[in-house]
């Protein structure tokens, strides 16, 4: 099969995670609410016999890493067993998939494809490059929380995403390394800097860090911004309702400068997987990333040794905001009117699909009510509790902001900042003003 994503025409498109919504009150893990934000009820559809059989559905996937790739295959195998429909998967390297998504969707896309909630979903839906899946949501919608439903809704009020999982960003570390050194979890930014200083003196890379692919550094920016200026400012900045050339933004970078001496100096030449290796081997003390980082720890002993803590408090809102991106599946324009593709969406919204995925990839959190939570690891329960306790949830800069702003402006600006510690906020504002005005 010819790779439809190999088309040249790069059109601005970020690389991973976000759009915001708030989750508040009465959230418990027992109801899967820790992952979705509401108390669980029996799912409307757990997988009754499908009327659609014997069809082939094409599926474009950016889940190219081994674990999620096998997890999606487990889902499709379960679907085929249930329906006799088959899913033909076209897997493309993760970053290539995202960088070429625009030309892919305008060319000859697969019927369904992996994508993200938030602005990045709404952007392509508004361009007419995605197909609404309200028919599927009419069947399985009660299996999702209001927050997930909101994050899956386009500007026209129609549903364009079938959520598969979410995951929090925070600091991950090895318990045995910390116990041996007597380290304790920092709850303030000053305590984080003090800990990093001690780690460096102990011969560790205090903060594992990697930004060869451009997007990982956005997580640090988002947290510093939300901790200093609040969740709403983060959202307004992403929407360009706030100027980039102001003191609040400069404060973000000024505080980041205090962390630069503690972040891996080889970050611009390393992938997130490379940085995960330094954490797994005990060469680094902690790593700010999404919980998908645990996909890299294939040694059960190492995996059981991994723990997590939220980004420490700074100026406002304490630790009330958390980055917890939602990943899911969308239908391309090619999927419009295709009974098999819509039937697959209905299956993806069931506990059976979630359980099949989680049986392979336990690094992410299931989001369908009725999914089997008994196998959640202590680490995942802690991650879920962090999401549940959050008053505000962001998706990630490249999901909350205009795609071109994330990929064409922020990536080079952040990589330049990591190199020399300088940033031109006036230039950021000039580019933002031009890009957002052209929408």
Residue 385 lies in a domain: no
Nearest-10 Cα torsion for 247, 20, 171, 64: -120
Cα(342)–Cα(340) distance, integer angstroms: 5
Residue 374 has what pLDDT? 87
Burial (0-12, 13-18, 19+ Cβ within 10 Å), 269: exposed
- Phi, psi angle pair for 42, to nearest 5°: -60, 130
100 and 147 share one domain:
yes
Cα 273 from chain centroid (whole Å): 15
Do 142 and 276 have their domain in common? no
Q: Are residues 130 and 252 in the same domain?
A: no
**Predicted TM-score (pTM) of this structure:** 0.78
Q: What pLDDT does residue 1 have?
A: 33
- Examine residue 195 and state whether it is found in any structural domain, yes or no: yes
- Please indicate, yes or no, whether residues 188 and 230 belong to a single structural domain of this protein: yes
> Does residue 21 fall inside a structural domain?
yes
Residue 47 has a pLDDT of: 45
Give residue 212's domain range.
169-323+402-437
The CATH number that applies at residue 293 is 3.40.190.10
pLDDT at 42: 39
Q: Given this model, what pLDDT does residue 50 score?
A: 67
Asked whether residue 390 is assigned to any structural domain, the reply reads: no
* The pLDDT of residue 237: 97
Q: For the chain, what is the domain count?
A: 2
CA distance 417 to 420: 5
The pLDDT of residue 41 is 37
Average pLDDT across each block of 10 residues of the chain; the chain has 439 residues. List them in order.
31 32 28 34 46 91 95 98 96 91 94 93 94 97 88 94 95 98 98 98 98 96 97 94 98 98 96 97 98 93 96 93 94 92 97 96 90 89 88 90 93 97 98 94
């Amino acid at each position: 099969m010819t790779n439809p994503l190999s088309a040249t025409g790069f059109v601005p498109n970020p690389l991973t995670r976000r759009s915001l919504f708030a989750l508040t009150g009465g959230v418990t893990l027992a109801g899967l609410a820790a992952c979705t934000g509401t108390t669980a009820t029996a799912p409307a559809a757990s997988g009754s016999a499908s009327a659609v059989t014997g069809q082939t559905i094409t599926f474009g996937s950016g889940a190219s890493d081994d674990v999620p790739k096998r997890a999606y295959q487990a889902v499709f195998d379960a679907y085929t067993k249930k329906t006799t429909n088959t899913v033909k998967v076209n897997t493309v390297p993760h970053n290539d998939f995202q960088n070429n998504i625009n030309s892919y969707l305008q060319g000859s896309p697969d019927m369904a494809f992996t994508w993200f909630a938030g602005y990045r979903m709404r952007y392509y839906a508004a361009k007419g490059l995605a197909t609404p899946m309200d028919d599927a949501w009419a069947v399985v919608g009660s299996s999702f929380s209001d927050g997930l439903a909101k994050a899956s809704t386009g500007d026209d009020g129609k549903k364009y995403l079938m959520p598969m999982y979410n995951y929090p960003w925070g600091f991950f570390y090895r318990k045995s390394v910390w116990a041996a050194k007597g380290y304790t979890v920092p709850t303030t930014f000053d305590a984080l800097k003090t800990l990093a200083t001690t780690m460096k003196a102990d011969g560790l890379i205090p903060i594992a860090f990697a930004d060869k692919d451009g997007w990982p550094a956005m997580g640090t920016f988002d947290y510093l911004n939300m901790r200093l200026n609040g969740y709403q400012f983060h959202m307004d900045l992403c929407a360009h309702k706030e100027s980039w050339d102001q003191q609040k933004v400069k404060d973000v970078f000024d505080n980041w400068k205090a962390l630069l001496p503690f972040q891996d100096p080889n970050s611009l030449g390393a992938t997130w997987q490379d940085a995960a290796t330094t954490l797994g081997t005990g060469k680094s003390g902690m790593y700010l990333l999404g919980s998908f980082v645990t996909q890299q720890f294939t040694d059960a002993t190492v995996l059981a040794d991994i723990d997590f803590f939220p980004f420490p408090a700074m100026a406002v809102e304490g630790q009330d905001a958390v980055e917890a991106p939602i990943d899911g599946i969308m239908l391309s324009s090619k999927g419009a009117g295709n009974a098999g593709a819509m039937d697959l969406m209905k299956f993806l919204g069931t506990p059976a699909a979630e359980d099949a995925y989680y049986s392979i990839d336990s690094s992410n959190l299931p989001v369908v009510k009725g999914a089997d939570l008994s196998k959640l690891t202590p680490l995942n329960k802690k991650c879920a509790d962090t999401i549940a306790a959050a008053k505000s949830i962001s998706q990630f800069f490249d999901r909350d902001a205009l795609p071109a702003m994330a990929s064409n402006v922020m990536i080079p600006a952040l990589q330049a900042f990591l190199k020399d510690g300088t940033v031109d906020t006036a230039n950021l504002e000039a580019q933002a003003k031009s890009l957002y005005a052209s929408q």
